[in-house]
Amino acid sequence: MKHIYLNLKRFDIPPEKGGVNRLSPVESWGSCLVKSTQEALRAYDPAQAEFVMFLPEAHLLNAAAAKTPGSPVRLGSQSVYRADTAAGGNFGAFTTNRTANITALLGCSHTLIGHCEERADKAGILAEAGVKDPAAVNRLLNAQVLAAQAAGLRVVYCVGESSQEQSDWENVLGNQLSIGLKGADLNRVVIAYEPIWSIGPGKTPADASYITKVARFIKERTGGLDVVYGGGLKQANAAMLAGIAEIDGGLIALTRFTGEIGFYPDEYLEIIRIYLGA
């Protein structure tokens, strides 16, 4: 099974506000994404590939409403809170936080936990309190993984090393996996590997040999979990990544990196075509 994940970040903000949304008005953005892709994605065998879109919470309802019967599009949230409502327990006192229960009720089957941007945010908050301990970030993420699974969600769990951590990458990734997935049902987890040191303008992308090495390590540490490339599946690297047996899919974000940068459904479909060879 190949996993094609789409992390739409905050791509709903229009250019006049500094964003990249040139697709539709904000109120119909979620439905536009589904309607622009679901029919084309029907061409792929659902037993061979799954397509999940991770959207900001505000867009999940109209995205779910745009799905037609048998739609190949699945929806996910961009992480969940580490605690949740429970019968006979907390009734919902989670102001500002998105719990896994509401995520599932809004139409999600998946959630994305531990993305490098989420890890950086948590590390920054902890640093304000004088805590500089990567294990603390992993423990918080572990609570989120467990909460997500308790609500019935499948988890895409992100791991990756920064430039400062690259020389010690095995320990860094090993701790992210062992702490972050402690007690989790691994049958409902896919790992997304993000080589943080290689992501962004002016940086040298990780090559096939490096990605292969790390993917093999992750599979060995997790008993063979599927591993997708989280450093950005795009047209420029889709064929290369498709040739790595240890990689089981990828995480797409921007589809255009020059000119009117942003996410464009037709370019998303082209990335999938190249990667899946169809």
Domain CATH for 82: 3.20.20.70
The whole-number average pLDDT for the span 128-135 is 96
Burial annotation 160-171 (CB, 10 A radius, 16+ → b, else e): bbbeeeeeebee
Q: Does 161 map to a domain?
A: yes
Show the DSSP H helices in the chain as ranges.
29-35, 38-41, 60-66, 100-105, 116-128, 134-150, 169-180, 208-222, 238-242, 265-276
Q: Are strands 73-77 and 110-113 parallel, antiparallel or unpaired?
A: parallel
Does a structural domain hold residue 231? no
- 3, 59, 110, 115: the catalytic one is 115
- pTM reported for the whole predicted model: 0.97
50, 118, 161, 194: which one is catalytic? 194
Confidence of residue 164 (pLDDT cuts 50, 70, 90): very high
Number of domains in the chain: 1
Can you give the pLDDT at residue 201?
82
194 is catalytic: yes
49 is a domain residue = yes
Instruction: Report helix, strand or coil for 62.
Output: helix
Q: By mean pLDDT, which of 93-102, 163-172, 201-210 is the weakest?
A: 201-210
Q: Is residue 233 domain-resident? A: no
Residue 168's pLDDT band (boundaries 50, 70, 90)? very high
C-alpha span between 194 and 209 (Å, rounded): 15
Q: Facing residues of 155 across strands?
A: 111, 189
**Is residue 255 assigned to a domain?**
no
In a domain, 140, yes or no: yes
Would residue 271 count as lying in a domain? no
59 noted as active-site residue: no
* 81 and 94 Cβ atoms separated by less than 8 Å: yes
Q: How large is the C-alpha radius of gyration of the chain?
A: 18
Q: What is the DSSP letter of 203?
A: P
Report if residue 96 sits inside a domain: yes
- What proportion of the chain, given as a percentage, has pLDDT over 90? 98
Euclidean distance between CA atoms 186 and 237, whole angstroms: 28
Which residue range is the domain that position 145 belongs to?
A: 20-34+44-189
Torsion region of 263: left, alpha or beta (phi above 0 gives left; psi -120 to 50 gives alpha):
beta
